[in-house]
Structure 1
Amino acid sequence: MILVSAKVGPFRSMNSEQTVEIDPTVTVFVGMNEAGKTVLLKALHKSFDAVGEDEFDPVDDYPRKDLSSYLKQHKTEPATATVLTYELEESEVGAANEALKTKLPSGFRIAVTHKYDNTIQLSLLVDETPVIQAFAKTLSSDAQTAMKEAKTLRAIPDLLKEASLTAEDNAALASLNTRLQATKWSNVSQWEVWSHVRANVPKFLYFSDYDTLPGKMNLADLAQRAEAAKNDPKQLTAAHRSVLALLRMADISMEDLVSPGSYEELKAKIEGVSISLTDQVMEFWKQNEDLEVEVDLKADPTDAVPFNNGANLYLRIKNRRHRGVSTPFDQRSRGFIWFFSFLVWFDSVQHQLDPSGKSAGKKLILLLDEPGLALHALAQADFLRYIDRLAQDHQVLYTTHSPFMIHSDRLHQVRLVEDQLKVGTVISSNLNGSDPRTIFPLQAALGWTIAQNLFISERNLLVEGPSELIYLQVASSLFDAKGTPGLRADLTIVPTGGLDNVATFVSLLGASGLKLAVLHDYKGSPEQKLTVLVRDKLLNAKSLFNVSQFRDEKKFGQSTTPTDIEDLFTPSLYLKYFNTTFAKQLAGKEVNEADLPAGDRIVCRLEKYVEANGISLRPSGGFNHYAVASQFASSPPKSLDVATSARFAALFGAINDVFDAS
């Protein structure tokens, strides 16, 4: 079962309800400091905390500006904090249908509403007809006739009162009555489906920088606090819980902590766990592979309270690169500390949920708050690989404002978080109209990818701008998904910032011995700057393409009419994304091709239409072509139409042939 959407609010800085689409694997929340990224994660966490320690509290969680008026109704009409919609996996649908005789459709969904009094309401639609039909097959023909008009399971006992029932009929009816008595729901099948799948609803595990392990902890004090926490959970801080998680992993109980003479055994157990965790960290931590975690247990009567009372647990990090010098755990790299602490907490929670270690991990959604905050840029790339590993078994939701924690080729996973004046926290997947400060990490991520690839890619396709990059990448991905050839995987698409910059890029990259091709828009005649590059032998003529060569299926390879890359799409497809991108400014108006003036280029026709109708889409006039491309990237079609596919297939084939021959 996976989370597909979350409706959150009002909650803390979210003054109004916000609906967020959740990616099946990884969802990234990008925004400035104090925008409300953590607020969203906490709302999800409190909905279904994996360890059962956090829940909604209206005083802490309801927006303060409305708190006084809300508290008057809280006990009688608790407000909704979140509505979480889950989709069953195919195996779960199949198992439910087999066990309950239902016919749940593929992609069956359940919505769970979480209230501020920590109660839930359920919404699921189950047709009882197949269940009624399956029950009827267990009855005699007379009983089947008697219940023929049954529309619900609850109606069956009354319909069978006057029927002549066999012993088998009475046994089936008794079994049905037991089912009916198990719930007060009018639709019994809905209750049975929920009861069947409720154990599969994933829980949330939240982890932040505050949950990291400390450098030392007094064991006697920890044991006392753990005992007191049974009545007062506030006795345990995040640091205490982190150490308890480590001890739990090492199979050390509270009784072990206070038992005299057991410290050697305790140390051996903790050291064993620490070595195992260090090995896991080092699979992804490539910044310094000479680190290891050391554990020590000793008393220090001269230390301050409470560390002068009995044994203390010391965590230290040893650096073999510097002859084994060790330093206290909490004085080392915050990135390494975060990584190690997360593994401790994560493994501990999985063990609590399922000591056998067989299934609990599949039922967790991981909420990571600024996981790369203390990591070097290249270490963040390492951590992204770790997130991808986690996403094989869990949905991962994390927050960031770092461009190095964003996959530039996975912008569909990004959700923007903004704090808007008088509105509060707003979450969106639409880049159009977003604060430039909010989308800066996305721009920087794209720029970093381009800059990095300039030095490591042997084969480069130069295009004019980021729109071309997006369209080519997404179209190629759609081809790959269908098993047909897209652009070759080792090809880097490099936006140059306009045709004027192409010559500079060709000179720089060509001088580095890299293989190049150029794809540009066509204005109706050859571009002088590009023909000069060919004349001066800086660029092979066969490596120079314009998009008009792939517009007319009967003239592939020939320069035809003025063409932009947008013209490779059928007008109806491009207009679909144009209308979606500017839906607010268009005020419900759907622009169709018949509305547009005549012309060769769809973007020019749209700009003329916008101007003629007095529609303002941006202060400088016209419209933002990149915004439409971004919308295309964030929600691409499942497949391209035949004409569009043919054009891109010809384009990809021509470009691949150039690099195959070189």
Structure 2
Amino acid sequence: MQLVAAIVGPFKSISQPQTVPIEPSVTVFVGMNEAGKTVFLQALEKSDDAVGLAAFDPIEDYPRKDLSAYLREHKQKPSTVTTLTYRLSKGELDELNGALHTNLPVDFEFKIARDYDNKLNMYLAVDEKPVLATLRETAGLSSDTKAALASVVAVRSIPGALAGLSLTEKDKAWLEVIQERVEKARRESVVESEVRDWLQPRVPKFAFFGEYALLPSKVNLADLAERVQQARGLKAQSQRPPVRAAQKQIFPQHLGVLALLRMADISIDDFTKSGGYEPLKARLEAVSIRLTDEIFEFWKQNEDLEVEVDIKTDPEDVAPFNEGPNLYLRIKNRRHRGVSTPFHQRSRGFTWFFSFLVWFDSVQHQLAASDESRDRSVILLLDEPGLNLHALAQADFLRYIDELSRRHQILYTTHSPFMVNSDRLHQVRVVEDRIKTGTVVSDNVTNSDERTIFPLQAALGWSLAQNLFISERNLLVEGPSDLLFLKAMSSVLEAQGRIGLREDVTIVPAGGLDKVITFVALLGASGLKLAVLHDYQGRPEQKLEDLVRQKLVAPKALLDASQFREVSSVGKRGRPTDIEDLLSPSLYLDYFNKAFEKQLDGRRIAEIDLPPGDRILHRIERYLADADIKLRPNGGFNHYSVAAALAGAPPLLVDSETAARFEELFRTINGLLV
């Protein structure tokens, strides 16, 4: 189950509710200090905290300038603070439809709203007709019962519809099950109530980790035990919100130590028992070794570090460390003959990494131990995770985030360009603190302050500096295969005395349509001449249309491949088209067969072999799937390989239709970039 959108506000610096789209794997929040990045994550955390320690409190969370007015109406009408939209995976949807006999569509979504009184409201729409159809088909029902069910439009109405009928034993048993469902349902729609009950325990929880949650270098275990005991008592006595009393005793650094002890299967009481030092230390050391090994799968800056755990008393220390045993964490550097230093004095990046692993393991342990949360996933909220890492170490951490995102959605904040994947700028949300409106979160960078989008410009600039040169005239395309096709066909046409692409135009493969859009938005106003050529999916690209409305690019500078597929109607959009479709199918297949000659083992694919369709790439991929031909493990084929084969040995001549299409394309581009 995935979070697809979040409406947050009013909450702290977010004065007005605003909708923020969330990416399926990773969403990055970029903005200046104090812009409100952390505030957004905190709102999500309090919506459904995985560890049960965060809750909304109007005194603490409602925008202060409006607090007095709001408190007068809070008890009677608590304000909604977050509304979260979720979408089920295909597997979950199939399971739900199979279990409840519903027919929810593939794009089924539902919303969960949380108010300032911390009550939850779920919003969804469910059609009962498929369920009723299944019930009518129940084997063994009498003809009278089936006739009565024909006019029923809701499950709740079934008992009334059958009242007064002479029922068979099978009818009675069946009706008893229906009545139980009706009595159990807490809403008018029985099926909707059942869907809610199915969804509720599967909704992901949020887990927030920030700088303040780092493990300490030492903690007094007697003091920690007393704090835990007092927190339990205060929590039991406290009214709303119930978690704040416990927070007065247990601070984030204490939670980290408790998590470490839990991982080692040690309770606080174990330290008061005599003769327990060696077993306890052995278990703690085993956990620290395992965690250190996990870190070094991604930490490549210094692999000679290890975490050392010790337990001892120190009567000479200051209170509370002079009473009873203390737990010490130190980092040993084998590169310097095993010299060790207190945990907090070493690399901030390494201590963050270690503390995060301890915390995250604890969160997973708590969810696994809860019957209610056993099937829940966790959405990770990371506040400035790479703040203290070297630029190359941040690249290592991005790999770690990618690994985590295979199992969990991740939302993190940053203002570092090295914590933004330059080939995934569509994942970025910019956060600004505007004078009149407060914190604003948006996926539109075009109207953002230049200081806010600086990390994006730096990330993009770093990528461009490594991969290409920018000239005055630039044609933006989606990928490197497009560049190869255009370069090769320009050379072929020029050799035939026809029009090719002018030499002073630089073809820029941006790495996908989203990055093309971001490139135009960030650099289109910098005096460069830009044109865009993209594949056409059968409908206008809304984000490109938005760039036109914002006057960042001229309408005529947005070109798609379908405009050149029919030479008789150049400039008019037609059927879905990739740049590859400007080549004749036979020409493209000739180079496809050359590119994958070894994998095809002598087989040559002709156009007559392919299923019908508009796009040569899709037709080939469908053919490969139907014929069970695997050119790569995950299916399909590498489009770049075909482009490289054509660029490496371009044809001396091409058919007239192919030549005419590309000539019209080059003529149009040359005219735009004069």
From 305, 324, 347, the equivalent of 1:291 is: 305
CA contact (8 A) 1:361 1:393 kept: no
Cα distance in structure 1, aligned partners of 2:543 and 2:308: 56
Give structure 2 stretches of 5+ with no counterpart.
235-244, 488-498, 510-528, 560-573, 589-638, 651-674
Change (3 A) 1:203 1:572: closer
Identity of aligned residues (%): 52
Among residues 154, 157, 181, which one is paired with 1:155 in the alignment? 157
Amino acid at match of 1:219: L
Give the CA deviation at 1:579. 3.3
Q: CA deviation at 1:170?
A: 1.2
Amino acid at match of 1:35: A
1:77-476 mapped onto 2 (5 Å cutoff): 77-138=77-138, 139-230=141-232, 231=234, 232-233=245-246, 234-355=248-369, 363-451=377-465, 453=466, 462=469, 464=471, 468=475, 471-473=477-479
Q: Which stretch shows the higher mean deviation, 112-121 or 644-653?
A: 644-653
Determine helix, strand or coil for the equivalent of 1:228: helix
Give the secondary structure class of the aligned counterpart of 2:464.
helix
Once the two structures are TM-superposed, the CA of residue 428 in structure 1 deviates from its matched residue by: 0.7
Distance in 2 (CA, whole Å) between partners of 1:648 and 1:208 is 53
SS at match of 1:178: helix
Residues 207, 378 of structure 2: 8 Å contact kept? yes
Could you tell me how far 1:227 is from its partner in structure 2? 0.8
Checking the alignment, whether the CA contact within 8 Å between 1:271 and 1:294 is kept in structure 2 is: yes
The question of whether the paired residues in 2 share the 8 Å contact of 1:568 and 1:647 is answered with no
For the structure 1 residues 581 and 84, does the alpha-carbon distance in structure 2 shift closer, same or farther, using more than 3 Å as the test? same
**Equivalent pair of 2:531/2:557 in contact (CA under 8 Å):** no
Q: Using a 3 Å threshold, how does the CA distance of structure 1 residues 241 and 136 change in structure 2: closer, same or farther?
A: same
CA distance in 2 between partners of 1:137 and 1:570 (Å): 46
Q: Which residue of 1 aligns with 2:515?
A: none
CA contact (8 A) 2:88 2:109 kept: yes
Going from structure 1 to structure 2, the CA distance change for 1:200 and 1:528 (only over 3 Å counts) comes to: closer
CA distance in 1: counterparts of 2:156 and 2:31, whole angstroms: 51
Alignment root-mean-square deviation, CA = 3.4
SS at match of 1:173: helix
Task: Specify whether residues 101 and 462 from structure 1 end up closer, same or farther in structure 2 by C-alpha distance, changes over 3 A only.
Answer: same
Alpha carbons of 1:9 and 1:584: their partners in 2 closer, same or farther (altered >3 Å)? farther
Relative distance call for 1:361 and 1:396 in structure 2 (3 A) is farther
Alpha-carbon distance, 1:645 to partner: 4.9
Q: Assess if the C-alpha contact under 8 Å between 1:566 and 1:574 holds in 2.
A: no
Find the counterpart in structure 2 of residue 505 from structure 1: none
Cα gap change, 1:273 to 1:567, in 2 (>3 Å): closer
Residue 114 of structure 1: how far off its partner (Å): 0.6
State the 1:197 CA deviation: 2.4
Give SS of 1:265's match.
helix
Secondary structure of the residue that 2:410 maps to in structure 1?
A: strand
Distance 2:66 2:380 in 1: 31
Q: Does the CA-based 8 Å contact 1:223-1:258 persist in structure 2?
A: no
1:196 CA displacement: 1.4
Deviation of 1:647 (Å): 4.6
| 347-356 or 416-425, larger mean C-alpha shift | 347-356
The question of whether the paired residues in 2 share the 8 Å contact of 1:350 and 1:361 is answered with: no
Task: Show structure 1 runs of 5+ residues with no match.
Answer: 455-460, 477-484, 494-523, 531-543, 548-562, 597-601, 606-638
1:604, distance to aligned residue in structure 2 (A): 10
1:357-398 deviation digits (Å, cap 9, x = unpaired) = 9x9596100000000001110000000000000001000000
In structure 1, what is the Cα distance between the partners aligned to 2:315 and 2:355?
Answer: 28
Q: Report the Cα offset of residue 468 of structure 1.
A: 4.1
Q: Secondary structure at the match of 1:438?
A: coil
Q: Distance in 2 between matches of 1:175 and 1:604?
A: 61
Q: Distance in 2 between matches of 1:64 and 1:585?
A: 38
SS at match of 1:642: coil
Q: Which residue of 2 aligns with 1:579?
A: 545
Please list the CA deviations of residues 106-159 of structure 1 after superposition, one character each: whole Å capped at 9, or x if unmatched.
Answer: 132111011110001111111101111222223321011112211111111111
SS in 2 for 1:437: coil
Describe the shift of the 1:321–1:660 C-alpha distance in structure 2 as closer, same or farther (beyond 3 A). farther
Q: How many Å apart are 1:162 and its aligned residue?
A: 2.5
What is the aligned partner in structure 1 of residue 7 from structure 2?
7
Aligned twin of 2:73 = 73
Alignment correspondent of 1:508: none
Distance 1:409 1:181, change over 3 A: same
- Residues 45 and 658 of structure 1, relative CA distance in 2, 3 Å threshold: same
Name the CA distance, whole Å, in 1 between partners of 2:213 and 2:558. 55
1:582 is displaced (CA, Å) by 5.1
Correspondence 1:42-61 to 2 at 5 A: 42-61=42-61
Whether contact under 8 Å (1:292, 1:317) holds in the other structure is yes
Aligned amino acid, residue 641 of structure 1: P
Q: For residues 40 and 25 of structure 1, what CA distance do their matches in structure 2 show? A: 18
Residue 626 of structure 2 corresponds to none
Q: How does 1:474-623 map to 2 (within 5 A)?
A: 565-566=531-532, 577-581=543-547, 583=549, 602-603=556-557
What is the CA–CA distance in structure 1 between the aligned matches of 2:533 and 2:364, rounded to whole Å? 52
Q: 3-state DSSP class of the match of 1:49?
A: coil
The Cα of 1:39 is off from its aligned counterpart by 0.5
- What secondary structure does 1:566 align onto? strand
Change (3 A) 1:290 1:466: farther
1:646 aligns with 2:559: no
Describe the superposition over 1:392-411 as per-residue Cα deviations: whole angstroms up to 9, x where unpaired.
10000000000000001001
Report the TM-score when normalising by structure 2: 0.74
**Closer/same/farther in 2, CA of residues 576 and 180 from structure 1, 3 Å limit:** closer
Deviations 1:465-488 (A, max 9, x none): 79745x333xx6xxxxxxxx6678
Are residues 578 and 285 of structure 1, via their aligned partners in 2, closer, same or farther at CA, if it must alter by over 3 Å?
A: closer
Pair 1:348–1:567, CA change in 2 (3 A):
closer
Cα distance in 1 between the residues matched to 2:404 and 2:101: 35
1: CA distance, partners of 2:323 / 2:557: 76
Render the CA deviation track for 1:282-309: whole Å, top value 9, x for unaligned: 1111000000000011110000000000
Aligned to 2:215, what secondary structure does the other structure show?
coil
1:528: Cα distance to partner? 8.0
If the length of structure 1 is used for normalisation, what is the TM-score? 0.75
